[in-house]
A and B are shown apart, each in its own frame.
Chain A
């Protein structure tokens, strides 16, 4: 077999390996939006999403948004989302410094995330964390970071959280520490 054939075979094999690697890591090249230019941008964004019956599912406000068609991702500055698990009124408000959304369904909130429950009488007010994943279709939220549960009469901290936006039940996974102030009137 001549050296020329050997070189061709090696090139083909290399190309095949490269093609395989790219397929194995589509997300890395796709979700890395910093290098791409957005397909469209919006400022002072306000958008509403409805379900098939015409009920509001969520409302999104943001100072700015960039959309990348190729990776189907959007990035938001100062996002605020109101989530309607039921048709009548919003039950949750989530704000953060920035957020990314993938296919308008999986949203990751970054930095100074504040999850406010709007349905409650205020005994359990906010959940604070630095990173939060929200699945708008399954109506769940989760993080592996520290979570602080804030209320007028206590402070509670845990590491890691999973919650149901529909049932309004949140579980903190470990290292729980709660302090009840016990201020009698």
Chain B
């Protein structure tokens, strides 16, 4: 949902390591990150903090890490990748390593997929191997074009 990006972020896990010198917190084992309708499941999530409010960077790793968000249209966007990077400030989620995002019957695969959780826009690129990439627009945007 568009309101997701401004929600609190809750992380649950089995274990946690705090590297105080480096402002780094690592969550281990059965890690679930939720923010509004967004849900991220991974084996490990590392959170890099800075002094600036709301500017954490979260990096999820899994085999693969799973990502999902409910669209404003009510449909569910689901994705996975070996590596999911979420920048709170820019609201950009970057999926790399066998990245895939699926919404209803539209599927995008690529080496890297960048997705804005606020505007719900996505750009996929095939990386060096030039895999075919498809760019799809969430139906919500298509409907606004028809009006």
A124→B16 CA distance, assembly (Å) = 14
Chain A hits for B17, CB < 8 A: 169-172
Are the C-beta atoms of A119 and B16 separated by less than 8 Å? no
Known A-B contacts A174-B14, A185-B54; the reply to A180 vs B19 at CB < 8 A is: no
Interface string of A137-175 (1 = CB under 8 A from B): 000000000000101111010100000000111111111
Known A-B contacts A174-B15, A179-B8; the reply to A123 vs B27 at CB < 8 A is: no
Q: Closest residue of chain A to B17, judged by CB?
A: A171
Are the C-beta atoms of B16 and A172 separated by less than 8 Å? yes
- Asked if B125 lies at the interface with its beta carbon under 8 angstroms from chain A, I say no
Q: How many residues of B contact A (CB 8 A)?
A: 30
Chain A hits for B16, CB < 8 A: 156, 158, 171-172, 176, 178
Chain B hits for A170, CB < 8 A: 17-18, 20
- Asked if A2 lies at the interface with its beta carbon under 8 angstroms from chain B, I say no
Contact partner, B54, options A120, A122, A182, Cβ 8 Å? A182
Chain B hits for A151, CB < 8 A: 49
The chain A residues found within 8 Å of chain B, CB to CB, are: 117, 119-124, 149, 151-154, 156, 158, 167-185
The chain B residues found within 8 Å of chain A, CB to CB, are: 6-21, 23, 25, 27, 35, 47, 49-54, 56, 88-89
Q: Is the interface of A mostly helix, strand, loop or mixed?
A: strand
Are the C-beta atoms of A182 and B18 separated by less than 8 Å? no
Chain B hits for A117, CB < 8 A: 20
Chain A hits for B23, CB < 8 A: 120-121, 123-124
